[in-house]
Amino acid sequence: MAETSNLGYPRIGKHRELKRVIERYWSGKTGEDEVHAVAKEIRAAAWAVQQQAGIQHIPSNDFTCYDHILDTACLWGLVPERFNHTAGEPVSLATYSTMARGGDHVAALEMTKWFDTNYHYLVPEFNGPAPQRTGNAPVDAFKEAKAQVGDAAHPVIVGPLTFVLLGKHHTKSIADHVNDLVPLYQELLADLADAGAQWVQIDEPCLVQDRTAEELALYTSVYGELAGSSKRPMIMLQTYFGSLGANWDTVVALPVEGFGLDFVRDGGNLSDLQSKGFPEGKVLTAGVLNGRAVWKADLGKTLGLLETIAETVDRNFISVAPSCSLMFLPHDVRLESSHDADVLANLSFAEQRLDEIAVLAKGLSEGRDAIKAELDADATRLSKLKASENNSTRERINSLTDADFNRPQAFSERVAAQQQHINLPPYPTTTIGSFPQSPDVRSMRLKVRGGKITQAEYDSWVQGKIDELVAQQEAVGLDVLVHGEFERSDMVEYFGEHLGGFITTEHGWVQSYGSRCVRPPIIVGDVYRDHPMTVKEVVYAQSKTSKPMKGMLTGPVTILNWSFVRDDMPRSEVANQIALALRDEVADLESAGIRIIQIDEPALREGLPLRRAQWAEYLDWAVKAFRLSAGGAAPSTQIHTHMCYSEFNDIIESIDAMDADVISIENSRSNEELLRAFTTNKYERMIGPGVYDIHSPAVPATDEIVDRLKNAANVLGSDILWVNPDCGLKTRKDEEVWPSLENMVAAAKAMRETVAAGK
């Protein structure tokens, strides 16, 4: 009989309970006890849902109060010295929070994207104390789960190689760091076995990336040691986000009891399975349901995939599973009420994925007749499913020429025209765009959506907020202002609400990082724009100041990557459809007199395929989509873009090819490592390396910012530098924002004095 497995579950709570309690803790309104109590309730609810759905392998230790990689770093005592942690002691929630968010003049761990997802993990550092086990969290979580769901519970831990490979500041070889951890993993496996764990899921997603011969040899060595431990559970070596490719032979030869493979992302694993076979007597966790998409599975087609797999692997050794953790999906479609039943019938969130797993396992075990009713109902659904088409969009896509993807003037020509029109001082100051979304902002948005106030009343209120913000920015002395984005719930969801071809959800929350949750819109048809989306607020803000006001748009690739995308046409074509809509918005902003327009692309790097051989194709269409969105702008219009929390070194040529006039980047958490990417390749456009970390509540001192600017000027030169925070200010509080901006402006003025003095 085929079994059922899940690899991980959303950890924010069905109604974002984790967000609320952890933010209360950070603000000092509650203590650790309530955090732990709410966390326990979230875990219990998740296990209950999975058990009721018939999942036979239910993950434990997949929950986290902030990030699972941070949890792993704390488990192994890898707490950098700047956090004043006593080596070997358990990491307190206070220290844990400071590692995640920073503190008073203490930089947080660097944050970057988890593979090619929109989830951010905290990067472990390996230049501090030697690893040692400081707690018992995986064992405690397993015992808690076992008490509720019995032998179905299986602990999940991050594998030693993935953990080290994703880290930074390595003071010795990768092999030496991994080997330092092996005895700790062996001890943990023994403790899990003593607690009654029959299986342990060890996640090694780095195996779907290009790996060197030395790294693959290390996998062989390490898992030989772990599998050879005298006491341990059976090991399910879990991979996801792609195929093993050239790593296949090494992986399936490892002496573990099972392998988890992704059969959704591409056909590589199925091809290798059919051509090379599978080790006899080993269990295959077959990831056949998309853990990163919300479209309901084609049950007949997916069962066919399982039947094909079963031609090579005995059905009794197959466990049906999602392609990855379900943490990337919202909780439950049944919470939605604002769309027609026909629309919702085609969606599958985390709870619905569990039901699909159970149905497919039954079909694989007992035959198609056993699930005939489900197959027939799904076939009827699919016969009605058709993405909406927009003739105007299709005509524009078909008529595109090379000229549409290029601004006709070179940057060297544009920059002179822009300076003449905008006339900014050296080290011009600005922000990334958003300002704090305080409780009153969120409350008013809920009131207008709920019909408690009229749209006119809401618009008037937003204008009042803009009035206040413009005055505050002028008082602080910023050079380029923004309108604050008070009308926007999220930088992607907002555009999903205004563009044709999208639907948005009421409760479709997913975790981006820590307590930050977003509701990705869903692309259900051709994308088009039938009205201006941002012009009204930006033009109003410009009317309140003589300083330049920056128009704020989210770029086509970011909207694409941070949405749930239709699966019936190439992503590149969807990106171009979005780009055309944004191009129209740029034209309307220009016509209204806005001369600085920022088109944010923080997700361009995260969409990069995990295999280098596939990079060129993606970067080609992704860069073109950005250029299409900005290609109609006049030379005197300054196009900005913002990119955050990504490693840019490998794609700097593509960033240059985007042809933006100004780029702002995260720089504060990465200890200015990103600057090297822009110097090695002689980046000659204007750049704003973020001068302080907005995810930290700490207010940066003026001297700290001056030092960062001096370092940047020494590397890049002063004539191309902008001064800005490293990301938007939406999640911060006013009492953190304004002192930080005051110090930032003071630092910029100090740097201007050095320019004036010729130093």
Catalytic residues: 695
Tokens read off for 609: 């395929």
Structure tokens at 316: 């009794």
How far apart are the C-alpha atoms of 304 and 316, rounded to whole Å? 17
Q: What share of the chain is helix, strand, coil (3-state, %, to 5)?
A: 50, 15, 40
Of 431, 422, 411, 416, residue with least CA distance to 723: 431
DSSP of 225-256: HHHT-SS--EEEEE--SS--GGGHHHHHTSSS
Structure tokens at 55: 């999942």
C-alpha to C-alpha distance for 406 and 393, rounded to whole angstroms: 20
Closest residue by Cα to residue 40 from 56, 58, 23, 60: 60
Q: Specify the 3-state DSSP secondary structure of 221.
A: helix
Number of residues that this document lists for the chain: 759
Q: Among 553, 549, 636, which Cα is nearest to 599's?
A: 553
CA 22 – CA 65 distance, rounded (Å): 8
State the Cα–Cα distance between residues 321 and 282, nearest whole angstrom. 16
Q: Report yes or no: 234 and 282 within 8 Å, Cβ to Cβ.
A: no
Within 13 Å of residue 498, how many CA atoms lie on the same side as its CB? Answer: 22
- Other C-beta atoms closer than 10 Å to the C-beta of 380 total 11
Identify the burial level of 336 via C-beta atoms within 10 angstroms of its C-beta, where 0-12 means exposed, 13-18 middle and 19 or more buried. Answer: middle
H or E element at residue 503: strand 500-503
Q: What is the 3-state secondary structure (H, E, C) of 315-368?
A: HHHEEEEECCCHHHCCCCHHHCCCCCHHHHCCECCHHHHHHHHHHHHHHHHHCH
> Packing angle between helix 372-384 and helix 299-309, nearest 10 degrees?
130
Which structure tokens are listed for 247? 């790593």
